[in-house]
Amino acid sequence: MNPNSIKYKNPGSSSTTRFERIHTVIFDNKENAELLIAKEIIQLIQKNNKKNKKTVLGLATGSSPKGVYKNLIEIHKKEKVSFKKVVTFNLDEYYGISKDHKESYNQFMDENLFNHTDIDRNNIHIPDGDLNKKVIDNFCKDYEKKIKSCGGIDIQILGIGANGHIGFNEPGSNLNSITRLVKLDYQTRHDARLNFNGIKNVPSSAITMGIKTILTSKRIILMAWGKSKSNAIKKTVEVRQNVNVPASLIQSHNNATIVLDMDSSSLLTRISQPWQVGEQTLDEEIKNRAIHWLSSKTEKPILRLTEKDYNQNNLSDLLVQKSHYDINLEAFNKLQRTITGWPGGKPNADDTHRPERKNPAKKRVIIFSPHPDDDVVSMGGTFDRLVSQGHDVHVAYQTSGNIAVSNEEVLKFVELYEDFFDRSSSLISELKNLLSDEKKIIKDRSVRKLASLIREKESLAATRFIGLNDSNVHFLKLPFYETGKIKKNKPTSDDLKIMCDLIKSIKPHQIFAAGDLADPHGTHKVCIELLFHSLKNLKKLNFMKDCWVWLYRGAWHEWDSHEIDMAVPLSPLQVLRKRRAIFYHQSQNNSVMFQGDDEREFWQRVEDRNREIAITYNDLGMADYQAMETFRRYHF
Active site residues: 170
78: buried, middle or exposed (CB in 10 Å: 19+, 13-18, 0-12)? exposed
Which CB, 158 or 528, lies closer to ligand F6R?
158
**C-alpha span between 177 and 281 (Å, rounded):** 45
Which CB, 159 or 344, lies closer to ligand F6R?
159
Q: Which stretch binds ligand F6R (CB under 6 A): 46-54, 154-162, 268-276, 444-452?
A: 154-162
Residue nearest ligand F6R (C-beta atom): 159
400: buried, middle or exposed (CB in 10 Å: 19+, 13-18, 0-12)? buried
**Does 129 contact ligand F6R by CB under 6 A?**
no
Within residues 219-278, the interface with ligand F6R by CB under 6 A covers none
CB of 229 to ligand F6R, least distance (A): 7
**C-alpha span between 368 and 501 (Å, rounded):** 14
Q: How many CB atoms lie within 10 A of CB 576?
A: 12
- Write the binding mask 71 to 100 for ligand F6R: x where contact by CB under 6 A, - elsewhere: --------------------xx--------
| Out of 38, 119, 166, 528, the residue judged to bind ligand F6R by CB under 6 A | 166
**C-alpha span between 299 and 619 (Å, rounded):** 8
Which CB, 214 or 410, lies closer to ligand F6R?
214
Amino acid found at 514? A
Which CB, 195 or 314, lies closer to ligand F6R?
195
Within residues 577-596, the interface with ligand F6R by CB under 6 A covers none
Q: Which stretch binds ligand F6R (CB under 6 A): 61-69, 261-269, 337-345, 453-461?
A: 61-69
Q: Specify the 3-state DSSP secondary structure of 611.
A: helix
Q: Which stretch binds ligand F6R (CB under 6 A): 38-46, 155-163, 315-323, 378-386?
A: 155-163
525 neighbors 519 (Cβ within 8 angstroms): yes
CB of 223 to ligand F6R, least distance (A): 8
Length of the chain: 636
Amino acid found at 268? L
**C-alpha span between 255 and 23 (Å, rounded):** 9
Q: Which stretch binds ligand F6R (CB under 6 A): 162-170, 375-383, 469-477, 563-571?
A: 162-170
Alpha helices in 301-425 (DSSP H): 307-312, 324-336, 374-388, 407-420
**Does 547 contact ligand F6R by CB under 6 A?**
no
Helix count (H) and strand count (E) of the chain?
19, 17
442 neighbors 364 (Cβ within 8 angstroms): no
516 neighbors 556 (Cβ within 8 angstroms): yes
151 neighbors 56 (Cβ within 8 angstroms): yes
CB of 169 to ligand F6R, least distance (A): 8
Q: Which stretch binds ligand F6R (CB under 6 A): 57-65, 438-446, 565-573, 588-596?
A: 57-65
**C-alpha span between 528 and 532 (Å, rounded):** 6
CB of 106 to ligand F6R, least distance (A): 11
Which CB, 209 or 462, lies closer to ligand F6R?
209
| Out of 58, 67, 167, 274, the residue judged to bind ligand F6R by CB under 6 A | 167
| Out of 16, 17, 24, 64, the residue judged to bind ligand F6R by CB under 6 A | 64
**Does 173 contact ligand F6R by CB under 6 A?**
no
Which CB, 173 or 382, lies closer to ligand F6R?
173
**Does 60 contact ligand F6R by CB under 6 A?**
yes
504: buried, middle or exposed (CB in 10 Å: 19+, 13-18, 0-12)? middle
- Write the binding mask 101 to 120 for ligand F6R: x where contact by CB under 6 A, - elsewhere: ----x---------------
Q: Which stretch binds ligand F6R (CB under 6 A): 41-49, 56-64, 414-422, 495-503?
A: 56-64
| Out of 30, 125, 165, 289, the residue judged to bind ligand F6R by CB under 6 A | 165
Angle at alpha carbon of residue 630, lines to 625 and 636, rounded to 5°: 155
CB of 282 to ligand F6R, least distance (A): 32
Rounded to the nearest 10 degrees, the angle between the axes of helix 105-112 and helix 66-78 is 40
Output the CA–CA distances (angstroms, integers) from residue 24 to 37, 100, 236, 238, in the order listed. Answer: 13, 37, 10, 10
Q: Give the number of residues in contact with ligand F6R, rule: CB under 6 A.
A: 14
Q: Which stretch binds ligand F6R (CB under 6 A): 62-70, 78-86, 578-586, 628-636?
A: 62-70
| Out of 2, 5, 52, 63, the residue judged to bind ligand F6R by CB under 6 A | 63
**Does 159 contact ligand F6R by CB under 6 A?**
yes
DSSP state of 100: T
| Out of 24, 61, 328, 523, the residue judged to bind ligand F6R by CB under 6 A | 61
**C-alpha span between 596 and 521 (Å, rounded):** 9
Q: Specify the 3-state DSSP secondary structure of 616.
A: helix
Which CB, 105 or 332, lies closer to ligand F6R?
105
**Does 202 contact ligand F6R by CB under 6 A?**
no
b or e along 178-203 (b: 16 or more beta carbons within 10 Å of the residue's beta carbon)?
bbbbbebbebbbbbbbbebbeeeebb
**Does 495 contact ligand F6R by CB under 6 A?**
no
CB of 198 to ligand F6R, least distance (A): 18
**C-alpha span between 127 and 137 (Å, rounded):** 12
**C-alpha span between 564 and 586 (Å, rounded):** 31
Which CB, 163 or 241, lies closer to ligand F6R?
163
Q: Which stretch binds ligand F6R (CB under 6 A): 54-62, 261-269, 286-294, 369-377?
A: 54-62
In the complex, the residues that contact ligand F6R under the rule CB under 6 A are: 60-64, 91-92, 105, 159-161, 165-167
